[in-house]
Amino acid sequence: MPDVDPMFYRQLLSSQLQAARKKAGYSQTDVVRETGWSLSKVMRLESGRVKISTTDLRALVSYYALPSEDSDALFRAAAGARLQPWWYDYRSLLSEGFQSYLGYEASAAVIRNFEALFIPGLLQTEGYARTLLQQSVVPEKDELLDLRMKRQERMLGESSETELRFLIDEAALRRVVGSPEVMEAQLDHLESTSSLDHVSVGVVPLARGLYPLLRSPYVIFEFAKAEQERVVYLENPDGSVILNNKAIVGVQRSVEDYLEAFWEVENEYAKPISDWRRAPAAE
């Protein structure tokens, strides 16, 4: 089972706190009256924006009259949330949304990633990634490149227990990023990485035409425990991110819609990167 990131524990604790309060039949206002806390504190604790102290958690467990199994789960999640994530030294460079993304990435049992325009970050060579970052507006380009390379070491190394499944539109492979030499090295890297036991890289040929969710790059995180619901990550054109474990905020599709689309494209439209490289013009 993959190591679980503290950010993931914080998200888990947030949902558990809300569920425990609702199961006990209390509103946030009831908690305020019982504890003497401010409403903003209750909201911050339930949203995961602040870490909960052991004393405060004990107070809630007592007030909600939780059974030992539920209270033990809350204390485990709270303890995990207080740990430092592996990317802690980079935290000042990262948005809150991307910190959550890294937490899900480190904790997932299966990651499914579809990209239409660029090579997925976990599969980028240093040359390809450096070229992309040079075109970005962020000032900390070297630090972010270092972070990306460390993510790859963790997720692509032999010790990784996360299954990684990638789908890439052929347009991303044909777009020259940097130089023809950079792209040739990138394609070689994709093919060699796809030979790893826990990695699958599929290409959707241009000749296949339109297919489900072509316009929407997305990542689906699936976790080992059945009670931990899948999460979908989307990046909007303006650079903002959306994370939700039940429904995607602001759009009409559900997590299951993205999962079904990925399965359909993977099984009916895509071909292995090695096959595509041998005869890309035959499609």
pLDDT tens for each residue of 231-269? 898 877 655 566 665 544 455 678 888 999 999 999 999
Give the CA dihedral 240, 246, 248, 250, nearest 10 degrees: -110
pLDDT of 139: 80
Higher pLDDT residue, 36 or 225? 36
Q: Nearest to residue 35, comparing CAs of 19, 55, 18, 12?
A: 55
Percent of the chain topping pLDDT 90: 64
Q: From the CB of residue 17, how many other CB atoms can be counted at a distance below 10 Å? A: 23
pLDDT of 247: 46
Dump pLDDT digits (tens) for 97-143.
Answer: 888 889 899 999 999 999 999 999 999 999 999 999 998 878 889 99
pLDDT of 281: 55
Domain architecture of the chain: domains with CATH: 6-81 (1.10.260.40), 88-282 (3.30.870)
Dump pLDDT digits (tens) for 167-185.
Answer: 999 999 999 999 999 999 9
Q: From the CB of residue 227, how many other CB atoms can be counted at a distance below 10 Å? A: 8
